[in-house]
Structure 1
Amino acid sequence: MIQRKPLPSVIRFNQLLSALTKLNHFSSCLHLFKQMCVIGVPVSEYSMNIAIKCCCQMSRTNDGFALLGCCFRRAVVPDVFTFSTLLDGLVLEDRILEAERLFKKLIKHKLCEPNVVMYSTMIKGLCKFGNNDIAIGLLRLMDERGCEPNVVIYSSLMRCEQ
């Protein structure tokens, strides 16, 4: 694809990145993403999100944050998926305090409106580390903000109480 003239659209590259991710070929996906940047493919929000997800799945969340910086430099606006992925990466790496700080910063500075996936990620992470009271407080915050909890959240809280 990289050698074709004219280059395929970013959509075709995103389809390949997505397929590599579904096959758990995270390092190959990141390699392709880097090649896209080098040859000047105009990466999209979707491309960036896939690359950040790969970093986080490989326990390289700091690299994911570096890619977040690239988003800003390229005028690609991160969305709730971007931040949920980074929060999940921090939780996977047992960095719950950093995840909490990031979550609070997202809300305080209104960088994105948390959705059920983001709340679920945080509640699951808090429960994983025995922060039951904070997890329940987050459930209340969800309710206050009009975000409906799902079965994943309730399951996490039930395991949290045990």
Structure 2
Amino acid sequence: MLSMRRPPSIIQFTKILGSLAKTNHFPTAISLFQQLQARGIAPNLFTLSILINCCCGMGCVMLAFSVLAKIFRMGFQPDTSVGSWISV
């Protein structure tokens, strides 16, 4: 998918990352995310949330916090309801 002339949207990649996370293929999901970043494909909030889940599943809590910091740098802030985010 990454080698296609016009790569699919981040939504399609997020679906793949979600499937990898559900099957506990955390390193593969993180590797795919890194390849997306290297090709300049911008992640969305859902993509980064899946990445945090993968980091925690691998026991890389510090990496998960760095992804959380990226979410804040992108301008998202937590909402008052649990698990919700708002764009500022």
Shorter-chain TM-score bucket reads 0.7 to 0.9
Identity %, equivalent residues? 30
The 1:44/1:60 distance shift into structure 2, 3 A limit, reads same
Q: Which amino acid aligns with 1:63?
A: L
* Pairs aligned (count): 83
Q: How many Å separate the matches in 1 of 2:5 and 2:75?
A: 25
Identify the structure with the greater helix proportion.
Answer: 1
Q: How many Å separate the matches in 2 of 1:51 and 1:20?
A: 10
**What's the TM-score once normalised by structure 2's chain length?**
0.84
**What's the TM-score once normalised by structure 1's chain length?**
0.47
Identify the structure with the greater strand proportion.
Answer: 2
Identify the structure with bigger relative contact order (alpha carbons < 8 Å, sequence gap 6+): 2
Report the 3-state secondary structure (helix = DSSP H, G, I; strand = E; otherwise coil) of the residue aligned with 1:4: coil
What residue is the counterpart of 1:22 in the other structure? Answer: 22
- Does 2:44 match 1:66? no
Q: How many Å separate the matches in 2 of 1:30 and 1:76?
A: 22
Report the 3-state secondary structure (helix = DSSP H, G, I; strand = E; otherwise coil) of the residue aligned with 1:59: coil
What are the superposed Cα offsets for residues 1-23 of structure 1, whole Å, 9 maximum, x if unpaired?
Answer: 11011010001100100110111
Q: Which has the larger radius of gyration?
A: 1
Unpaired runs of 5+ residues, structure 1, are 80-111, 118-162
Q: Which amino acid aligns with 2:69?
A: G
What residue is the counterpart of 1:2 in the other structure? Answer: 2
Q: Which amino acid aligns with 1:45?
A: L
Deviation at 1:78, TM superposition (A): 5.2
What residue is the counterpart of 2:76 in the other structure? Answer: 77
The 1:72/1:7 distance shift into structure 2, 3 A limit, reads same
Report the 3-state secondary structure (helix = DSSP H, G, I; strand = E; otherwise coil) of the residue aligned with 2:69: helix
What residue is the counterpart of 1:113 in the other structure? Answer: 80
What residue is the counterpart of 2:56 in the other structure? Answer: 56
Q: Is the 8 A contact 1:30 1:54 kept in 2?
A: yes
* CA RMSD, Structure 1 to Structure 2 (Å): 1.7
